[in-house]
Structure 1
Amino acid sequence: MAENPEVVVVEPQFSKIVDGLLGAEGPVFDKNGNFFMVAPEVEKDGKFAGQVLKVDLKTKQVAVLCEPVVEGEGGVPAGCQCDKEGNLWIADMRHGIIKVTQDGQMTQVCRQDSEGRPMQGCNDCIFDYQGALWVTAPAGEIAPAPYTRSMEEAFGSVYCMLTSGQVVRVDTGIRFPNGIAILHTDDGRPKKLIVAETPTKLLWSYDIVEPGKVNNKTIWGRLSGDHEGGADGLDFDADNNLLVAHWGSGFIEVFSCEGGQPQKRIKCPFKRTSNLHFKPSSKTVYVTEHDNHALWEFQWENQGKIQKCELLFDN
């Protein structure tokens, strides 16, 4: 697809926070302003050894909070969200969904979905305002099964973990489902699920019927250009524009709430943009990237959409 000359290119000033990490994905804040991210690519002695990191944004000091391990199998943590209690809920490509407390204690949430199928390895996640956790799963069965990814063969899935703890598979047959976001109604009801399919550069939407049930799967948007890679992490701003990390392109694509083609492109000082997340109640966006395994920040024109953990009341 050729570039759309009508797309506005913006070039904000990026500031590097840290680089030289062992991986860079899944940026997230808790409600107290603590910042966390993950390093999925780490290996030790030929085995996976991904890390959950806590970063002091002022001092730029990085501490390893946890190295997920289940029955001797190291993890590949790839995305995370935070609940009101400060627990990190992490999408892990080897262990599915895991929970990590702020003192570094890890729990694997489940090994099977609601219909008894083995869980697949997960990549990214988002809480809706009612407390359900929606999760993409581009990997094959969790450890100890062999590590496989759906980049070529379309066996990727999407899950919803209900507030009861039950994990429901809501769709499957996707090529590497990656970033995930929720569009809510004005009164806070989850309305639309957006899922990035990385190799096709497509953004799919589903109407949310109820927690754990979707219908009307539709192509919602399409990334621009013939660049390497495709859509990775997603995040809405307060005006319901969707910012999409376009891995391999050097840009963050910005879509209106209606989807379609990107309206703006944010030029980054690196090519392999992996994920992004707004600092609460601010226009500051934190971006992870794979070129230098680094964390950056820049100022966007709008504040970020409020996250579940920031709500002062339960919907």
Structure 2
Amino acid sequence: MAENPETLILEPQFSKIVDGVLGSEGPVFDKNGNFFMVAPQIKKDEKFAGQVFKVDLLNKQASMLCEPAVDGEGGAPAGCQCDKEGNLWIADMRLGIIKVTQDGQMTQVCRQDSEGRPMQGCNDCIFDYQGSLWVTAPAGEIAPAPYTRSMEEPFGSIYCMLTSGQVIRVDTGIRFPNGIAVLHTDDGRPKKLIVAETPTKLLWSYDIVEPGKVTNKTIWGRLSGDHEGGADGMDFDADNNLLVAHWGSGFIEVFSSQGGQPRKRIKCPFMRISNLHFKPKSNTVYVTEHDNHGLWEFKWETQGKPQKCEMLFD
């Protein structure tokens, strides 16, 4: 799809925070303003040895919090969310869903889904306001199974981890499901699940019927251009505009709450944008990218939508 000539192109000022975080991904704040990100691409002896970092944004320094591993198999952490206690819930391409505490203690949450199938490697995640964790899983079975990805063959899946801890596979047959977001009603009920399918440049929506159950899979949006890559991480602003990292294009695409084609495009000083996340109660956006494996910030037009961990009442 060619670019829409009516789409407004914005060029905000970007400031670099850190670089050299291999595969730079998973930007997230906890409710106290601490910032975390991950390095999924690190390998040792041909095995993954990804890392989780805590970042001092003021002094622009990253310190390793954890190097996830289970039974000698290293992880490839890719997406993060925080709960109210400050725990990191991480989508890991080799270990599935893992939990990391603020002092760096790691737990693998599950090895099978609710129907006894082996978990697949995961990429991104989001808490809805009712506490369910929605997770994309574009990889094959978790370690020690061989590492495979669904870029060509559509075996990618979507999971929902309920507040009970049960992990339900809600859909499968997707080519590399990647970024994920939840659109809520005005009174805070989860309404739609939005999922990026990277190689097709499509954004799919599902109606959320109840925790762990979706219906009505529909094409919600399409990224612009014929660029390399496709849709990666995403985040809603306070006006329910969805900002989507378009990996390989040099742009963040901005969609209205109705989807369709992007209304605005944010030009970045790098091409391979991987993810983005709003600082709580602000219009500052933190962006990860793979050109320099870095973290950057810029100012958006409005504040971000509050995350589950920021909310005062459940």
TM over 0.5: yes
Letter in 2 for 1:13: Q
Match of residue 22 from structure 1:
22
Shift of 1:3: 1.3
1:45 Cα shift? 1.9
Q: 1:119 — aligned with what?
A: 119
Q: For 1:1-315, list aligned pairs within 5 A.
A: 1-314=1-314
SS of 1:313's partner is: coil
CA drift at 1:139: 0.2
Amino acid of the residue matched to residue 100 of structure 1? V
- Where structure 2 has 5 or more consecutive residues not aligned to the other structure, the ranges are none
Shift of 1:61: 1.3
Distance in 1 (CA, whole Å) between partners of 2:21 and 2:100 is 20
Measure the CA separation in 1 of the matches of 2:78 and 2:201. 19
Q: Give the % identical residues.
A: 88
Deviations 1:39-74 (A, max 9, x none): 000011221000000000001111100000000000
RMSD of the TM alignment (CA)?
0.4
CA distance in 2, matches of 1:164, 1:22: 34
AA paired with 2:180? I
The TM-score, its normalising length taken from structure 1, stands at: 0.99
Determine the C-alpha separation between the residues in 2 that align with 1:207 and 1:105.
35
Cα distance in 2 for partners of 1:77, 1:144 equals 16
Alpha-carbon distance between aligned partners in 1 of 2:99 and 2:2, rounded to the nearest angstrom:
42
Query: What is the deviation of 1:289?
Result: 0.1
Report Cα offsets for 1:149-187 as digits up to 9, x if no partner: 000000000000000000000000000000000000011
Q: Deviations over 1:252-305 (max 9, x none)?
A: 000000000000000000000000000000000000000000000000001000
Taking the aligned partners of 1:18 and 1:274, their CA distance within structure 2 comes to: 15
Q: Counterpart amino acid of 2:117?
A: R
TM-score, structure 2 as length reference: 1.00
Distance of 1:64 and 1:3 partners within structure 2:
40
User: What is the distance in 1 between the residues matched to 2:2 and 2:131?
Assistant: 40
Q: Distance in 2 between matches of 1:310 and 1:49?
A: 31
C-alpha separation between the residues in 2 aligned to 1:211 and 1:21?
A: 34
| Aligned residue pairs, count | 314
Question: In the aligned structure 2, how far is the partner of 1:72 from the partner of 1:20?
Answer: 25
Take 2:2 and 2:29, find their aligned partners in 1: how far apart are those partners?
37
Distance 2:101 2:225 in 1: 41
What's the CA shift for 1:2? 1.4
Q: Which amino acid aligns with 1:161?
A: M
| Conserved 8 A contact 2:21-2:38 | no
| Cα separation, 2, equivalents of 1:157 and 1:216 | 16
Please give the alpha-carbon distance, in whole angstroms, between the structure 2 residues aligned to 1:21 and 1:65: 13
Offset, 1:20: 2.0
Distance in 1 separating the partners of 2:2 and 2:212: 37
- Could you tell me whether the CA contact under 8 Å between 2:53 and 2:63 is conserved in 1? yes
Letter of the aligned partner of 2:270 in structure 1?
F
Q: State the alpha-carbon separation in 2 of the partners of residues 132 and 54 from structure 1.
A: 24
> Structure 1: how far apart are the matches of 2:247 and 2:276?
11
**2:197 corresponds to which letter in structure 1?**
E
Aligned-partner SS, 1:191: strand
What is the rounded CA distance, in whole Å, between the counterparts of 1:231 and 1:22 in structure 2? 19
Cα separation, 1, equivalents of 2:203 and 2:12: 25
Structure 2 counterpart SS, 1:199? helix
Unpaired runs of 5+ residues, structure 1, are: none
Q: Distance in 1 between matches of 2:275 and 2:60?
A: 19
Between the aligned partners of 1:131 and 1:24, the Cα distance in structure 2 is 26
What is the CA distance between 1:28 and its match in structure 2? 0.1
- Structure 1 CA distance for aligned equivalents of residues 269 and 2 of structure 2: 22
Distance in structure 1 (CA, Å) of the matches to 2:20 and 2:31 = 27
Q: Secondary structure at the match of 1:178?
A: strand
Amino acid at match of 1:52: V
Describe the superposition over 1:218-239 as per-residue Cα deviations: whole angstroms up to 9, x where unpaired.
Answer: 0000000000000000100000
